[in-house]
Amino acid sequence: MTAVLTQEWVTVCGYDDLLPERGVAALIGEVQVAVFRTHDGQVYAVGNHDPFSDAYVLSRGIVGSSGVTPTVASPMFKQVFDLRTGQCVTDPGVSVPTYPVSCVDGVVRVGVEDRS
């Protein structure tokens, strides 16, 4: 009995609402998503839940880079996550979910799996 998963695109904010190298949190249903705009204009979305502290705070971390990897550091205990993959850079056994993002006509949308 496999659930059928489809992608639903949810508008979260305007592109200009995102500050370069800073994140925001969005509430989509019961899911908390952290959305980041990096220096080069790219937008990434990962889960807002910090697996190390169990608090929903990743959107408030410092955005930067590790080598060529765009990163966010948890504001709680400073573990660093790869914004592209959700993988924790400092503790590779841990990762957070990632979400697809679209930016069209200045509107940022995040794709979440919709159980239907």
Partner 1 sequence: MTRLSGGTTPWNARRKLVVIGNGMVGQRFVEALRARDEAGQWQVTVLAEEQRPAYDRVGLSAFFSGATPEELSLVPEGFYDHDPAITLRLGAPAVSIDRERRVVRTATEEHPYDALVLATGSYAFVPPVPGHDLPGTFVYRTIDDLVALREHCAGRQVGAVVGGGLLGLEAANALCLLGLRTHVVEFAPRLMAVQLDEAGGAMLRRHVEALDLTVHTDARTERIQPRPDGSVGSMAFADGSSIDVDVVVFAAGVRARDELARDCGLEVGERGGVVVDESCRTSDEAIYAIGECACIDGRVYGLVAPGYSMAEVVAQRLLDSPAAFTGADTSTKLKLLGVDVASFGNPSGELDVVYSDPVHGIYAKLALTDDAQTLLGGILVGDASAYATLRASVNGPLPGKLADFLGSGEIQGTLPGTAQVCSCHAVTKDDILTAIGEGCADVPTIKTCTKAGTGCGSCVPLLKTLLAEAGVEQSKAVCEHFANSRQELFDLIRVRELRTFSQIVTELGTGRGCDLCKPAIASILASLGNGHVLEGEQATLQDTNDHFLANLQRNGTYSVVPRIPGGEITPEKLIVIGEVARDFNLYTKITGGQRIDLFGARVEQLPLIWRRLVDAGFESGHAYGKALRTVKSCVGTTWCRYGVQDSVGLAIALELRYRGLRSPHKIKAAVSGCARECAEARSKDVGVIATENGWNLFVGGNGGFRPRHADLFATDIDTDTLLRYIDRFLMFYIRTADRLQRTAAWIEGMDGGLDYLRSVIVDDSLGICADLDAAMERHVATYADEWRATLEDPDKLRRFVSFVNAPGTPDPSIQFVTNRGQQIPAGAPVLVSGPTLSTRTQQEVDR
**Of 71, 76, 34, 36, the residue nearest 55 (C-alpha):** 76
Asked if 94 touches partner 1 (CB under 8 A), the answer is no
Of 1 and 10, CB closest to partner 1: 10
Task: Tell me, letter by letter, the H, E, C secondary structure of the chain.
Answer: CCCCEEEEEEEEEEHHHCCECEEEEEEECCEEEEEEECCCCCEEEEECEECCCCEECHHHCEEEEECCEEEEECCCCCCEEECCCCEECCCCCCECCEECEEEECCEEEEEEEEEC
Contact 18, 103 (CB under 8 A): no
Q: Is 22 in the site for partner 1 (CB under 8 A)?
A: yes
**Looking at 43, 46, 47, 71, which residue binds partner 1 (CB under 8 A)?**
71
- Interface residue with partner 1, options 11, 100, 106, 115 (CB under 8 A): 11
Q: Which stretch binds partner 1 (CB under 8 A): 1-9, 72-80, 99-107?
A: 72-80
Report the site for partner 1 in 41-60 (rule: CB under 8 A): 49, 53, 55-57, 60
Binding site for partner 1 (CB under 8 A): 10-13, 17, 19-22, 24-28, 30, 32, 35, 38-39, 49, 53, 55-57, 60-67, 70-71, 73, 75-76, 78, 80
